[in-house]
Structures are given as C-alpha cells and as structure tokens.
Amino acid sequence: MDFSTRNAAIGLSFLAAGCVSAAGQQAPAVRRIQPPAPPVYGVTGLETAIGRTARYLETEFGKPDLDIREGQARKLQFSGAACVLDAYLYPPRGGGEPIVTYVDARRPDGTDFDRASCVAALAKAREP
C-alpha cells in the first residue's frame, strides 16, 4: 500500500469514527416547549350572557341576526349600532339545555370591541 492510499484509508476511518457515537452515549434530550396557557377572560359585566340559555338571550337582546347549529354547539349573533356579539352555547357536562360558555364582540367594521360593553349596549338598546 503506498503512502497516499494509506493516508486516505486512515482519514476515512477517522471520518467514519466521527459519525458513530460512543457506546452507551445517548443523544441529547430534546427540550419540549410548552405552549402558552390560553388567556383567561374575566366575566365581569358578562353576567347577562355567560351561563345563560338562548331563550334568555333573546329576551335580553331580541331575535338573533344569525343562528348557526353544528352538532351540539350553537352560535347566536346579535347586532346593534355599537357592536356585534357572538354567543357560543354548549350543553352542560351533565346534559341539559345549552348555555353560553363564551362571547366575542366587535364593532360593525370588524375591529375589536369590549365584550362587557357590547353586552351592556345591546341590553340598553332593548330597553323601552
């Protein structure tokens, strides 16, 4: 074996050795990143909507502009001059009539609007 072939063989063996980990050595553990907790929304000012039935919402805000049902879920949308309120209803764990578990509000142009203020504005618009 000539000098250059021998050096090439030695170089290849070092290269191959670099690809193999030492026996018993484990790859470094992958650190799992936890997603952030979902935001917690306060319900102050939302007592007229959260936990209420569709029938109750209709007495407070009038006939919904939109009523969408998907499986056991239901979305009611109420519109007023100041805002649009989406109310999401689901049956309670023990069963029974669906109740509002979440509401979302926006201005008629689609920009964010305070949920409690929207609930109050829609209720006030129904007052005689």
Please report whether residue 45 resides in a domain. no
Q: Do the domain assignments include residue 30?
A: no
Ramachandran area for residue 96 (φ above 0: left; ψ -120 to 50: alpha; else beta): left
Closest CA to 55 of 94, 92, 100: 100
Would residue 7 count as lying in a domain?
A: no
Radius of gyration of the chain (CA): 31
89: exposed, middle or buried (C-beta count within 10 Å: 0-12, 13-18, 19+)? buried
6 band by pLDDT with thresholds 50, 70 and 90: low
In a domain, 89, yes or no: yes
Rounded to whole angstroms, how far apart are CA atoms 36 and 55?
A: 36
Predicted confidence (pLDDT) per residue in 12-63, tens digit = 555 555 555 555 566 666 666 666 665 555 556 788 899 999 999 999 999 9
Tell me, yes or no, whether 4 lies in a domain.
no
The total number of structural domains in the chain stands at 1
Task: Give the confidence band of 93 by pLDDT, cuts at 50, 70, 90.
Answer: confident
In a domain, 40, yes or no: no
Q: Model-level pTM? A: 0.65
Domain that holds residue 64: 54-126
Q: Is residue 118 part of a domain?
A: yes
